[in-house]
Amino acid sequence: MKDKDGWLSASLTLTLASAILWFIEKFFVKIFTSDFEVMVLYFPTILSILIYVFLVKKEGRFKVKEKPA
C-alpha cells in the first residue's frame, strides 16, 4: 500500500512539473531542447503513471463490483 502511494505522489509531482514546464516553454521562453524535455520530464512522467496504474490494477481497485441480486 505504501509503495503505491509513493508512486501516486511521484506521478502527480512529475505531471505537475511537466505541465508547468510545457506551459512556460509554449507561451513564454524556450529553456530546454526538445530531447532534454522528453528524456528528463515527459518520459519519466509517463513511466511513473504506468507503474502506478499497474500497481492499482494488481491490487484490484479497478475491478467492477457486481450489485447483489
Scan for cell 450489485, then name that residue: 67
- Are 56 and 11 in contact by the 8 Å Cβ rule? The answer is no
Give dist(CA 55, CA 45) in Å, integer.
16
Residues 6+ apart with CB under 8 A from 25: 31, 32, 37
Give dist(CA 45, CA 56) in Å, integer.
17
Q: Enter the pTM of the model.
A: 0.72
pLDDT tens for each residue of 41-69: 899 999 999 998 998 888 776 555 566 65
What confidence score (pLDDT) does residue 65 get? 57
All cell numbers assigned to 30: 524556450
